[in-house]
Amino acid sequence: MADMSFQLEHINIPAKDPEGLVRWYADKFGLRADRHLARGPGALIAFVKGEPLNRAPEIHVGFRVPSLTALAEWAVRFEAKIKEGEEFNSFQVFDPEGNCVEVYCKGKG
């Protein structure tokens, strides 16, 4: 039988200014800006010319960090308040085109 394993490789998000949005993700999250692509370890976000989805927070980009300490450091960077939960601790911010970005770590459970 063929190997049926897979992993999410990238996501495409419509944007009015794809290259500008990539620069924001590079600046805020340390991703590498490559034309309309934001790249980093385990992350590839492709911004394509189009109208933003405006479906936050139902549709969002999620970045997992390894610990509550790391989450707190990111929260300070964004001046965000951490929401604690049983399964996950997280905070949300919005990029310049209104896309929701959630940064989270495992919770107590």
pLDDT confidence of residue 34:
95
Rounded to whole angstroms, how far apart are CA atoms 23 and 18? Answer: 9
pLDDT band at 7 (very low <50, low <70, confident <90, very high): confident
pTM: 0.88
| Alpha-carbon distances, residue 81 vs 28, 44, 45, 73, 74 (angstroms) | 17, 26, 25, 11, 10
Q: What per-residue confidence (pLDDT) applies to 75?
A: 97
CB 95 within 8 A of CB 25: yes
- As a whole number of Å, the CA-based R_g of the chain is 15
Instruction: Write the pLDDT tens digit of every residue in 20-71.
Output: 999 999 999 999 999 999 999 889 999 999 999 889 889 999 999 999 999 9
